[in-house]
Chains A and B, each alone.
Chain A
């Protein structure tokens, strides 16, 4: 099998046509703006983590085109199931990035309303969400809704998970309207794709009986066009598609990771030349579709966004202690109620102390 990668915008910013993916009136300026803004969200979040304001952050650096391109292809009714790095998709679904900061700061576990944004909660266990997306898509089909589809995001490492293979089987057998969007960012923490598969990832789809396509994951136009077509096919009853967005994780796996242990700087530099934002900037500039004022305005917007996020993040309060007992069940549990009452009484014992109780050993150090 040959490996064809769909590309509509070269790293140098030149438009190339593909007969299967005609592009008409698309908002390239808007795509550029989204990519710049989510990169700034990412940069600010990494800084906040370094300063102790976030517990962790999973950087999307380098994957802006894959996320913005695919997410902008979604209709308002389509449902998206993210992994935990889809900050760009979250942005396109209208989710305030502060909600993502809440998650990574640890003040909650991601408590946005998935139906309000048509964007499910982040899923940490690798690949689990592919089955949720498939089930949701089966529900769409049962509902007879012909104008809705589902997209599910996962990485190259996830393709080794049994759940992902099961999701492929189920989606295929039930002809579910779901698009499997695999961001192959070349790393499952430190493991390269050849540790996951002997064949290119997109070719796996053929064994399950549905189309697989590889797209230049750093080309926002190609990601948009390919995803739009796959979603359309899903809505029209043609079942699932696997899209492998071939990209590169420019940052660390998360803020706890040290990628210098497993990859060469020269490789990172080579991918920097394929930057997803620079090629769009170059295209917009040399075709006269945007001027200096536009780029300055987007930068100013990004600066303002970063300031807002920082202020909102540091102001996030810790959850009230007794809230840990909330929302375990829809109904009540006498056992849980008793634990809550008991712990409230225990805390009450410290009510006359000016400082909240601290961990053992701290007192002696004062």
Chain B
């Protein structure tokens, strides 16, 4: 066991997948010699060759479109989209082709393509580098949409995503790339949590706090702070955004009676809306308060010097937690 960063953990997971299956291939802009702008693919081209770790032309639709062709040929491409805001040129290939191929072929065609996307804000970046586009994809049937939150889980999740026969949109919390944690890179994959299950990050009794990606850490910190005030907050890391692990959510909310959802993406028509609807339908008689949502405002992602006003932080999350006790 050693302490490694989230970026390194994904790198180790990719390495393992490349070793395990000769059909796995990494492709994207600057993923080869440079090792990716966040160094997630650092050293992989050197060790596995230019044919398996491919620097591609600068064209996102081309990355996903040719990945589909490679998958049709029997490969398992892992594409990197350099930043969240750059995935949109590939949206047609993802939504109209990648997501639908299994369905329209009545199961005859599998496209085991993983699309890695660093997402979220908080790094003081210029525009188009801080977005949270996950619901565009969660709304598209046929895709699996997941977000990792910490190094140990990311190491396992990337391998599970690559082994999955469905297309997976794999969101990586870019402001957490340099968070370090113990990762057991020798642990057998099968022993861990499946890709489509949520994870209870912190046990609690009074309120369920749901999040994913970069805000999981913030939520755990908020829960620890609340504990000092005598409040027991259960934090759930959703991991899979589509399909959602509704059972884990409703089991928790049925115990706690309160539910807060936090994400960086705009609250309006965000994942929190779906969760609130399902929790209301399935936990109605257990609820002590309406499900509250805390997240981005209904505005485009603002300029870097204003992003702290946009991003939910520990205090805004605790404020929402407090409000669920006011009903």
Interface residues of A, Cβ cutoff 8 Å to B: 108-114, 120-121, 123, 125, 128, 130-140, 142-143, 162-163, 166-167, 169-170, 173, 326-331, 333-336
Q: Tell me if A's interface is mostly helix, strand, loop or mixed.
A: helix
| A-B residue pairs in contact (CB < 8 Å), sample of 17 | A108-B106, A121-B109, A125-B92, A128-B92, A128-B96, A130-B65, A131-B66, A132-B66, A132-B97, A136-B69, A136-B72, A138-B70, A139-B72, A143-B73, A170-B66, A330-B166, A331-B164
By a CB distance below 8 angstroms, the chain B residues around A120 are 72
Choose the segment among B11-19, B54-62, B251-259 that binds chain A (4+ C-beta atoms closer than 8 Å): B54-62
Do A163 and B245 touch across chains, with their CB atoms under 8 A apart?
no
Distance to closest chain B CB from A151 (angstroms): 13
Cross-chain contact B103 with A166 (CB below 8 angstroms): no
Binary A-proximity of B208-233 (CB < 8 A = 1, otherwise 0): 00000000000000000000000000
- A-B residue pairs, 5 tightest by C-beta: A135-B69, A131-B65, A139-B73, A135-B66, A109-B104
**Contact A114-B109, Cβ < 8 Å, known A134-B66, A328-B102, A331-B164:** yes
* B51 in contact (CB, < 8 A): yes
Give Cα A88–Cα B326 distance, bound, in whole angstroms. Answer: 69
Cβ-defined contact, B105 with A121, below 8 A? yes
For the complex, is B68 an interface residue (Cβ under 8 Å from A)?
yes
Which of A132, A170, A327 meets B68, CB within 8 Å?
A132
Chain B hits for A136, CB < 8 A? 69-70, 72-73
Q: Give bound CA distance, A121 to B74, whole Å.
A: 16
Identity of the chain A residue whose Cβ is nearest the Cβ of B66 in the assembled complex: A135
**Contact partner, B62, options A113, A166, A329, A331, Cβ 8 Å:** A166
Complex contacts, A113 vs chain B, CB 8 Å: 105, 108
Report Cα–Cα, A70/B110, bound state, in Å: 28
Query: What is the interface residue range for chain B against chain A?
Result: 35 or more
Interface centre among A137, A163, A326, A328 (most CB of B within 10 A): A328
Extra inter-chain contacts (15) besides given A125-B92, A134-B69, CB under 8 Å: A111-B104, A111-B106, A131-B93, A137-B69, A138-B73, A139-B72, A142-B51, A142-B70, A170-B66, A173-B57, A327-B103, A329-B166, A330-B165, A333-B243, A335-B243
Contacts of A169 in B (CB 8 A): 57, 59, 62
Among B67, B73, B103, B141, residue most surrounded by chain A Cβ atoms (within 10 Å): B73
* B75 interface contact, C-beta 8 A: yes
With CB as the reference atom, state the residue of chain B lying closest to A166: B62
A170 and B107 within 8 A (CB): no
Q: Are A330 and B110 in contact (CB under 8 A)?
A: yes
- Taking a contact as CB atoms under 8 Å apart, the answer to whether B243 and A334 are in contact is yes
Residues of A within 8 A of B57 (CB): 166, 169-170, 173
Q: How far is the CB of B234 from chain A (nearest CB, A)?
A: 21
1/0 per position for B33-64, CB-CB distance to A under 8 A? 00000000000000000010000110101101
Assembled-state Cα–Cα distance A133/B73 (Å): 10
B108 — which chain A residues lie within 8 A by C-beta? 111-114
Please give the distance in Å from B287's CB to the nearest CB on chain A.
20
Across-interface contacts of B97 in A (CB, < 8 A): 123, 125, 128, 132
By beta carbon, the residue of chain A nearest B75 is: A139
Measured between alpha carbons, how far is A128 from B66 in the docked complex, in Å? 10
Contact of A328 among B64, B141, B196 (CB under 8 A): B141
Chain A residue nearest to B245 (CB atoms) is A334
The interface residues of chain A lying within 8 Å CB-to-CB of B165 are 330-331
Known: A111-B104, A139-B73, A330-B164. A125 touches B68 (CB 8 A): no
How many residue pairs between the two chains, A and B, have CB atoms under 8 Å in the bound complex? 140
Which of B89, B110, B243 has the most A CB atoms < 10 Å from its CB? B243
In whole angstroms, how far apart are the Cα atoms of A125 and B104 in the complex?
14
Q: Is the CB of B61 within 8 A of A110?
A: no
Set of chain A residues within 8 Å of B56, measured between Cβ atoms: 170
Q: Is the CB of A142 within 8 A of B75?
A: yes
Do A166 and B166 contact each other (CB < 8 Å), given the known contacts A121-B105, A138-B66, A139-B73? no
Complex: A336 Cα to B142 Cα, angstroms: 11
Kindly list chain B residues whose C-beta atoms are within 8 Å of the C-beta of A131.
Answer: 61-62, 64-66, 68-69, 93
The residue among A132, A135, A169, A327 with the most chain B CB atoms within 10 A of its own CB is A135
**B26 at the A interface (CB under 8 A):** no
Residues in A with CB closer than 8 Å to B93 are: 128, 131, 163
If A114-B108, A121-B105, A121-B109 touch, whether A135 touches B164 (CB-CB below 8 Å) is no
**Bound Cα distance A110, B103 (Å):** 10
Interfacial chain A residues near B166, Cβ < 8 Å: 329-331
List residues of chain B with CB within 8 A of the CB of A123. 97
The answer to whether B65 and A128 touch across the interface, beta carbons within 8 angstroms, is yes
Among B64, B89, B109, B244, the most chain A Cβ lie within 10 Å of the Cβ of B109
What chain A residues lie within 8 Å of B75 (beta carbons)?
Answer: 139, 142
Determine if B61 and A163 form an interchain contact, defined as CB atoms under 8 angstroms apart: yes
Compute how far the CA of A114 lies from the CA of B101 in the bound complex, rounded to whole angstroms. Answer: 11
CB-CB under 8 A from A162, the residues of chain B are 61, 89
Q: Which residue of B lies closest to A171 (CB)?
A: B66
Expressed in whole angstroms, the Cα–Cα distance for A130 and B69 within the complex equals 9
Q: Is the CB of A133 within 8 A of B69?
A: yes
Asked if A333 and B67 sit within 8 Å, CB to CB, the answer is no
**Measured between alpha carbons, how far is A139 from B62 in the docked complex, in Å?**
15
Identify the closest chain B residue to A148 (Cβ): B73
Is B74 a contact of A326 with CB atoms below 8 Å?
no
Closest chain A residue, CB of each to CB of B165: A330
Is the CB of B116 closer than 8 A to any CB of chain A? no
Write out, one digit per residue, whether chain B residues 165-184 have a CB within 8 A of any chain A CB (1) or not (0): 11000000000000000000
Residues of B within 8 A of A173 (CB): 57
* Whole-angstrom CA separation of A169 from B72 in the bound complex: 20
A140 proximity list for chain B (CB < 8 A) = 73
Contacts of A166 in B (CB 8 A): 57, 59, 61-62, 65
The reply to whether B103 and A109 contact each other, CB–CB distance below 8 Å, is yes
Chain B residue contacts of A336, Cβ below 8 A: 243
